[in-house]
Amino acid sequence: MNLKAKHIHISSGGALVAVLNSIDAAKMDIHTLDRIKLFRGRRVETVTANITESDALVPEGHIGVFEEVSRALKLRDGDRMTIILARKPLSLEFIRRKLDRQRLTKKEIDQIVWDIVHNKLSDVELTYFVAACYTNALSMRETVLLTKAIASQGEILRWKKKPILDKHCIGGIPGNRTTMVLVPLMAAAGYTIPKTSSRSITSAAGTADTMEALACVTFSNEEMKKIVQTTNGCIIWGGALNLAPADDKIIRVEKPLEIDAESQLLASIMAKKFSVSSTHILIDIPIGKDAKVKTSHEARHLRKHFEALGRMLGKRVKVIVTDGSQPIGNGVGPALEARDVLWLLRRDPRRPADLERKCLMMAAEMFRMVGVKNGMQRARELLDSGKAYRKMVEIIRAQFGHEIPPEDLRLGKFTADVLAKKSGTVRDIDNVVISRVARIAGAPLNKGSGLYLYRHMGGKVKKGEKLFTIYSESREKMRYALDVAREQESFYIW
* Positions marked catalytic: 260
Going along 269-404, which residue ranges are E strands?
A: 280-287, 316-323, 331-332
Amino acid at 19: V
287 forms bridges with which residues in the sheet? 293, 323
| Cα–Cα distance measured from residue 464 to residue 486, given in angstroms and rounded to the nearest whole number | 13
Question: String of b and e for 307-317 (b: at least 16 CB within 10 Å)?
Answer: bebbeebebeb
| Distance separating alpha carbons of residues 199 and 251, to the nearest angstrom | 13
Q: What is the Cα Rg of the chain in Å? A: 25
DSSP 88: P
Task: Point out which residues pair with 320 in neighbouring strands.
Answer: 284
Phi-psi region of 229 (alpha: psi -120 to 50; beta: other; left: phi over 0): alpha
Rounded CA-CA distance 211/236 in Å is: 8
- Write out the H or E segment, with its range, that includes residue 211: helix 207-211
Amino acid at 489: E
Q: Say which DSSP state 192 is in.
A: B
Which residue, 244, 252, 249, 311, is CA-closest to 272? Answer: 244
Query: Cβ contacts of residue 43 below 8 Å, gap of 6+?
Result: 72, 73, 74
Nearest to 415 by CA among 481, 462, 491: 481
C-alpha 305/C-alpha 155 separation (Å) is 25
DSSP letters, 140-166, are HHHHHHHHHHHHHTS-----SSS-BEE
What Å distances lie between residue 475 and 416, 441, 470, CA to CA? 10, 9, 11
How many C-beta neighbours within 10 Å does residue 141 have?
13
Question: Rounded distance, CA 363 to CA 378, Å?
Answer: 9
Distance CA 398, CA 263 (A): 36
- Cα separation, 246 vs 331, in Å, equals 33
For residue 101, the Cα-to-chain-centroid distance in whole angstroms is: 29
Report how far residue 430's alpha carbon sits from residue 108's, in angstroms, rounded to the nearest whole number.
44
**Residues pairing with 332 in the sheet:** 451
Q: How many Å separate Cα 363 from the centre of its chain?
A: 22
